[in-house]
Structure 1
């Protein structure tokens, strides 16, 4: 999405006719911060940053912190300089996942044609819910009301005829708002926006377009296709040209399968102790495995990411003999991969584990190997139930019990892509 300020045209109402606007994009506002404020209401109205110690990155920032220029993915050191009075909180991704599931349960009541995009956003095609729930805007209002009532967190909703426009509309509805873009107003709405608002225009592409004098979506829309092909390539040029004219044939995909599940930890101090790194891998493997089981998927490939003190970053992957959703299997592969990595004298700055090549546990079956220990599987699934009822910190691997590691902070824990 664009970094540019929203134009007055983008903020104004685009009409009342929602006929044909059956695509909704639901986006939670500053989700991690909103969840933290549920548990710490005394912080409301104050600048709050979630994630990242002095060496990590910002996972989320409240709107009060954003007023100082703080944004997600910004180095935490930079965020502290911009907003020294901000309250910085560590990430609690188990808590965020809990609230996310509550939000998704609300959306699932509207329609099964729902495509979760991340932990805090989803697309819905409500065409099958119109007779039961009313017009698209009425459904959007119901969603915002129910999400707020049941979870306590705000949601912004964009309503449009396509996924692309619905996503842009929800961004312009923030914070805590609703924006509907009628079919007839789609092109005027898009052409009022800076070119960076188009889905897929990142920082580098935006700079290329602006160097060619294409500052707005309208500029791009009226640029001859051969020129866009030369500037961006045939595929990208054609795609952005279509989006600039409101053409987006992508349907909401309710069976979208996540490509990977992973978690990373940025250490407060560079770590040279290999046993310390292995303990971190163990905790990360349990986080990944719990998420795999929650999503009813299995992994066939385990990857580790290691970033050294000089910011050199390497990744190593291993294909497992059989698909699994057990931390026992994930950590075994991850430790083998780490064993082959030479730890420099300056140590490791960041360590991460990722489960890749996911497949459905329903179709594949959860018995991953003939020699799998059934007690291991039962134990890990029992741990899921205890954590869900009493909290994630109550039950941990024995080697991690009673251990509070202050040298590490989650930088992207629970990341889904």
Structure 2
């Protein structure tokens, strides 16, 4: 067997894939915190660079990127709401929204496909979602449960390769180039992954197969839900050509009009556009965006790399300028950052504050702590000090974020004379245990009551 994606089938678009063994959708040849652990058949990897897993200190040989790689993007379908519909049969086939209650300020975290038909989508204010779909069931969600289900899915992926890059709770990239000799074609691996996920969790996933990460994610997006799409190297330009330029990562609603001004509306337009003119308008970003339009992406799948940061942010339904509300929000965000730091077994030496104003401009500020910490109270205190320095005069804030950076695995140096640190660590661990069992909302600080 050869280790390249030329073995991927190049046939016309077929029927949508299912776990019953129907043919997956395929592209014609004419034509969104890393948590993975290293497991699986490491002996199948080629010689290359050696990386260390920051969780377990194991090492893995990362192959040099061949010209023809086999990359998978696995994306769970409406993950949060699908878990709820699986566990509550009365919700199946009905619109479900996970997020803030519609009578409270907050946003939608996830919407079932039934709710999406009414225009409901993630990051939408819950009040707006209720106006669009008043008969939907609104749930706060159980993020501890979602994390457990996520780990079950990631464990399945690691059965095929240790080169698994988890990019969110419900999606990951896999490099199966060196696994083809063990498991067959990349399409066969993708189909087996879908089958095992459904058999183990009762959930469905969409999988994209391609020579690189950009095309693999595009493929999984194009066949949602419960789909499988293969984009071969020969097919990529034809697949990309008719798509709107906004399908390229980084080209959003605010930047897409700029491309329209240049006469670029489709990716095909961008493929033909002179690179010199593009550079004059976009600067250094031009080469990357042009490469994506041509289906090129040399980013490696990075397994089990140490997270550079852990952050949490929220967008207010209406701009907020009151310092009391902003400080309370910082503490809520810091609570989640601290919990995730402890779950990862790391501590942050740097605290970052992110502010987005009403005109959508964004500001970030950082401060370095005397020692690394996973204590949310210290993180919140540092973030509030940064915020107070920037908001000496009230200013409407649209988005607020708190993060921990410069993460270290080394345990904190305990001061034997400072028993308060020990008690604080014990309290944080006890709080984590309560939240894991009963949900995050079951435990609140006295100041929040």
Q: Please give the range of the TM-score, normalised by the shorter of the 2 chains.
A: 0.7 to 0.9
CA distance in 1, matches of 2:275, 2:255: 16
1:223-259, Cα deviation, whole Å (9 max, x unpaired): 111222233x232222122112122111111215243
Cα deviation, residue 91, structure 1 = 4.0
1:175-231, Cα deviation, whole Å (9 max, x unpaired): 111111122112211113222212222112222222322221111101111222233
For the 8 Å contact 1:9–1:189, the answer to whether it is kept is: no
Cα deviation, residue 119, structure 1 = 1.7
Q: How many residues align?
A: 386
Q: Secondary structure at the match of 2:114?
A: helix
Residues 218/387 of structure 1: CA separation in 2 closer, same or farther (3 Å cut): same
Match of 2:349 in 1: 300
Match of 1:367 in 2: 412
TM-score (norm 1): 0.78
Taking only aligned residues, the RMSD between alpha carbons, in angstroms, comes to: 3.9
Residue of structure 1 aligned with 2:80, choices 19, 24, 32:
32
Residues 67/258 of structure 1: CA separation in 2 closer, same or farther (3 Å cut): farther
Query: Which structure: greater helix fraction?
Result: 1
Match of 1:410 in 2: none
Query: After the TM superposition, which of the residue ranges 317-326 and 371-380 deviates more from structure 2?
Result: 371-380
Q: Does 1:41 align with 2:89?
A: yes
Residue of structure 2 aligned with 1:125, choices 175, 179, 184:
175
Match of 1:240 in 2: 289
Q: Does 1:97 align with 2:142?
A: no
Cα deviation, residue 150, structure 1 = 2.3
Q: Secondary structure at the match of 2:234?
A: helix
CA distance in 2, matches of 1:226, 1:272: 47
Match of 1:50 in 2: 98
Residues 36/308 of structure 1: CA separation in 2 closer, same or farther (3 Å cut): farther
Q: Secondary structure at the match of 2:187?
A: helix
1:18-41, Cα deviation, whole Å (9 max, x unpaired): x94510111111122112223333
Cα deviation, residue 111, structure 1 = 1.7
Match of 2:34 in 1: none
Residues 351/245 of structure 1: CA separation in 2 closer, same or farther (3 Å cut): closer
Q: Does 1:392 align with 2:405?
A: no
Match of 2:194 in 1: 144
Cα deviation, residue 156, structure 1 = 0.7
Q: Secondary structure at the match of 2:162?
A: coil
| Runs (5+) with no aligned partner, structure 2 | 1-11, 17-24, 30-66
Q: Does 1:165 align with 2:212?
A: no
1:352-372, Cα deviation, whole Å (9 max, x unpaired): 6623214141xxx02156476
Match of 1:3 in 2: none
CA distance in 2, matches of 1:398, 1:319: 26
For the 8 Å contact 1:304–1:337, the answer to whether it is kept is: yes
1:334-386, Cα deviation, whole Å (9 max, x unpaired): 565677798999x999996623214141xxx0215647623432443355456
CA distance in 2, matches of 1:139, 1:354: 39
Residues 120/230 of structure 1: CA separation in 2 closer, same or farther (3 Å cut): same
Query: After the TM superposition, which of the residue ranges 161-170 and 280-289 deviates more from structure 2?
Result: 280-289
Q: Secondary structure at the match of 1:59?
A: strand
Q: Secondary structure at the match of 2:235?
A: helix
Match of 2:374 in 1: 325
Match of 2:310 in 1: 260
For the 8 Å contact 2:86–2:92, the answer to whether it is kept is: no
Residues 336/183 of structure 1: CA separation in 2 closer, same or farther (3 Å cut): closer
Residues 212/192 of structure 1: CA separation in 2 closer, same or farther (3 Å cut): same
Match of 1:14 in 2: 27
For the 8 Å contact 1:49–1:87, the answer to whether it is kept is: yes
Match of 2:166 in 1: 116
Q: Secondary structure at the match of 1:202?
A: coil
Residue of structure 2 aligned with 1:59, choices 109, 134, 143:
109
Q: Does 1:84 align with 2:134?
A: yes
Q: Does 1:287 align with 2:336?
A: yes
Residues 43/358 of structure 1: CA separation in 2 closer, same or farther (3 Å cut): farther
Q: Please list, as runs of the form range in 1=range in 2, the aligned pairs for 1:177-256 lying within 5 A after superposition.
A: 177-231=227-281, 233-254=282-303, 255=305
CA distance in 2, matches of 1:267, 1:385: 31
